[in-house]
Structure 1
Amino acid sequence: MSTFSITGHKDSPQPSYCQITTAKGVYNIPLDDIFFIECHQKKSFVHTKNGILILPVPLYRLKDVLPASLFQQSHRSFLVHLKNISHIDKQKDPWTISFFGYQEHAFISRSFRQQFMQAVSD
Structure 2
Amino acid sequence: MNTLSVTDHNDKSLPSHCHINTTKGIYNIPLTDILFIESHQKKSLVHLKQETLILHLPLYRLIEALPSELFLQTHRSFLVNLKNISHIDKQKDPWTVYFFDSDEYAFISRSFRHQFIAAISD
* TM-score strictly above 0.5: yes
Give the CA deviation at 1:11.
3.3
Q: Report the Cα distance in structure 2 between the residues aligned to 1:11 and 1:104, rounded to whole angstroms.
A: 31
Q: Which residue of 2 aligns with 1:16?
A: 16
5+ long unaligned stretches in structure 2: none
Where 2:92 maps in the other structure, the secondary structure is coil
Q: Root-mean-square deviation (CA), in Å?
A: 1.5
Spell out, residue by residue over 1:15-74, the C-alpha distance to the aligned partner (whole angstroms, 9 max, x if none).
611001111121111100010000101111011012111111110000100000000000
Give the percent of matched residue pairs that are identical in Structure 1 and Structure 2.
67
Q: Report the Cα distance in structure 1 between the residues aligned to 2:103 and 2:120, rounded to whole angstroms.
A: 20
Q: Which residue of 2 aligns with 1:112?
A: 112
Which structure has more strand as a fraction of its residues?
1
Alignment of 1:20-99 (within 5 A): 20-99=20-99
Runs of 4 or more, structure 1, over 4 Å off, are none
Query: Given that residues 15 and 30 in structure 2 are in contact (C-alpha distance below 8 angstroms), is that contact kept between their aligned partners in structure 1?
Result: no
TM-score when scaled to structure 2? 0.95
TM-score when scaled to structure 1? 0.95
Q: Report the Cα distance in structure 1 between the residues aligned to 2:38 and 2:29, rounded to whole angstroms.
A: 15
